[in-house]
């Protein structure tokens, strides 16, 4: 599941991702949701992976970034509101997990202030 999350995040952000810190941040944010929402997001990732297998005969993290982008845009544009909402929510979660990491804050113009403590 981690490979699919990283692939989705790289598609949504178009940046290289530090996998360990990103996944930790993603799961921390995900655990802030209620149980039902957590299950729905994870189910959506699984469903996207199954549709990728049907369409491309490969898991979502194994297809090219161009195909993955087109694949996700297709699902974002389907006339079923719950699917579009799910893709939008997943994209928002992936973006929040990426841009809330200290090393990525500067990409959106946020400067993190590091506390310095005097050791006496």
- Does the pLDDT value for residue 116 go beyond 60? no
Q: Three-state SS across 42-84? A: HHHHHHHHHHHHHHHCCCHHHCCHHHHHHHHHHHHCCCCHHHH
| pLDDT tens digit sequence for 29-77 | 999 999 999 999 999 999 999 999 999 999 999 999 999 999 999 999 9
Q: What is the pTM of this model?
A: 0.84
Per-residue confidence band for 112, with pLDDT thresholds at 50, 70 and 90:
low
Query: Do the Cβ atoms of 40 and 34 come closer than 8 Å?
Result: no
Q: What is the pLDDT of residue 103?
A: 79
Q: What is the pLDDT of residue 120?
A: 47
């Amino acid at each position: 599941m981690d490979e699919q999350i990283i692939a989705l995040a790289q598609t949504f952000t178009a940046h290289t991702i530090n996998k360990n810190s990103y996944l930790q941040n993603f799961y921390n944010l995900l655990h802030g949701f209620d149980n039902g929402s957590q299950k729905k997001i994870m189910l959506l990732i699984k469903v996207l992976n199954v549709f990728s297998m049907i369409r491309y005969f490969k898991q979502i993290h194994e297809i090219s970034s161009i195909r993955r982008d087109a694949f996700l845009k297709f699902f974002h544009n389907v006339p079923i509101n719950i699917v579009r909402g799910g893709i939008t929510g997943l994209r928002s979660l992936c973006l929040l997990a990426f841009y809330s990491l200290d090393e990525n804050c500067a990409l959106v113009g946020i400067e993190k202030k590091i506390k310095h403590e005097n050791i006496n």
